[in-house]
């Protein structure tokens, strides 16, 4: 491929006023784009307004009317491109795709926390180039206790095509859907994940006051629920158990940590007649414990 080096003479610059026909076929497309880019620059800096078809002198460069960029061709002002076409040459294709973008790993946030999270999306053009300067709107759920934005919900993409929104968790734990919207594109789902806060309460929800028969397993499993101070179920909490081993036996494999419902459970087998309690506890970060009790009797 032939290369274009050195300064290109431009019509009206006093450098000779060469036409596009002087260049070989392959580079011509590149030179044409350079001339059109120059056209856009001239529009931005101001150029004369004329009527298409009116007379002009060769070497006058570019002009414009109400809708087009004009060039002096054959002694007449001739339309080249519309303003919209010229702007697209300068800016590139319109936005064509929006996607989630992980800028950096962020620690999970808990319900009621003062911490903020920044979610990032990226907008690309059809040629996969970043769509700089594109307006992105973020829509948050309006249900009570949902996350709320801490920065403007309408923002503009940066040079890398990225738009950011910061938000703070509410009092409800769960996965919330935030919508990122760009005119002309399908909305993008941005997930806002909020964890339950630290355990705050422990209550018996199943298996209490059972009567067992010596040598047999209790009919129902023993269940307790863990919740945070907002009433959200707390998952992943391991129960601590205390009981009289002479009266009953608990299989360690039957002990389960709390699920997404906040419920932890275990099974027990009766050994000898009697009556007592099974203490179930949860250790807090402070070193203190939440404790509740199952009553039972064995015949």
Distance separating alpha carbons of residues 77 and 57, to the nearest angstrom: 9
Global confidence as pTM: 0.67
Q: What's the pLDDT at 259? A: 92
Among 9-23, 111-125, 135-149, 210-224, which is the least confidently predicted range? Answer: 9-23
Tell me the Cα Rg of the chain: 36
- Share in percent of the chain as helix, strand, coil (round to 5): 10, 40, 50
Predicted local confidence at residue 51, as pLDDT = 87
Side-chain half-sphere CA neighbours of 195 within 13 A: 13
Closest Cα partner for 76 from 49, 50, 53?
53
Of 94-98, 177-181, 257-261, the least confident: 94-98
**Percentage of the chain with pLDDT > 90?**
65
- The answer to whether residue 49 scores a pLDDT higher than 80 is yes
Inform me whether the pLDDT recorded for 26 exceeds 50. no
Q: What is the reported pLDDT for 74? A: 80
Which DSSP state fits 39? H
Q: Which residue has the higher pLDDT, 36 or 4?
A: 36
Q: 138 with 178: CB under 8 angstroms? A: yes
Query: Which helix (H) or strand (E) is 35 found in, with range?
Result: helix 25-45
Does position 35 have pLDDT exceeding 80, yes or no? no
Share of the chain above pLDDT 70, in %: 81
Mean per-residue pLDDT of the chain? 84
pLDDT in tens, 124-172: 998 899 999 999 999 999 999 999 999 999 999 999 999 999 999 999 9
pLDDT digits (tens, 9 = 90+) for 69-104: 888 888 888 888 776 666 555 556 788 899 999 877
Give the confidence band of 224 by pLDDT, cuts at 50, 70, 90: very high
Domains in the chain and their CATH numbers? 20-91 (2.30.130.50), 95-195 (2.60.40.10), 201-298 (2.60.40.1080)
Is the pLDDT assigned to residue 19 strictly greater than 70?
Answer: no
pLDDT at position 90, please? 56
Whole-angstrom distance, CA of residue 50 vs CA of residue 41: 18
């Amino acid at each position: 491929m032939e290369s274009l080096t050195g300064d290109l003479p431009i019509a009206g610059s006093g450098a000779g006023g060469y036409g596009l026909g002087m260049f070989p076929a392959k580079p011509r497309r590149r030179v044409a784009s350079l001339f059109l880019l120059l056209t856009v620059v001239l529009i931005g800096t101001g150029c004369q307004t004329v009527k298409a078809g009116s007379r002009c002198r060769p070497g006058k460069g570019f002009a414009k009317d109400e809708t087009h960029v004009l060039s002096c061709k054959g002694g007449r002002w001739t339309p080249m491109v519309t303003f919209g076409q010229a702007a697209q040459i300068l800016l590139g294709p319109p936005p064509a795709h929006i996607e989630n973008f992980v800028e950096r790993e962020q620690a999970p946030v808990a319900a009621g926390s003062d911490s903020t999270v920044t979610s990032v999306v990226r907008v690309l053009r059809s040629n996969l180039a970043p769509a700089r300067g594109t307006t992105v709107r973020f829509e948050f759920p309006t249900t009570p206790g949902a996350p709320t934005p801490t920065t403007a919900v309408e923002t503009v993409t940066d040079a890398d095509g990225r738009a950011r929104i910061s938000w703070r968790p509410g009092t409800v734990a769960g996965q919330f859907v935030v919508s990122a919207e760009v005119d002309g594109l399908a909305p993008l789902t941005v997930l806002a994940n909020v964890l339950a806060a630290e355990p705050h309460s422990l209550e018996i929800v199943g298996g209490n006051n059972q009567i067992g028969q010596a040598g047999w397993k209790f009919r129902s499993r023993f269940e307790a629920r863990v919740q945070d101070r907002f009433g959200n179920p707390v998952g992943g909490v391991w129960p601590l158990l205390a009981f009289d081993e002479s009266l009953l036996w608990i299989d360690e494999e039957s002990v389960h940590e709390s699920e997404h419902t906040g419920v932890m459970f275990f099974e027990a087998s009766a050994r000898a007649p009697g009556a007592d309690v099974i203490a179930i506890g949860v250790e807090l970060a402070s070193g203190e414990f939440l404790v509740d009790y199952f009553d039972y009797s064995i015949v």
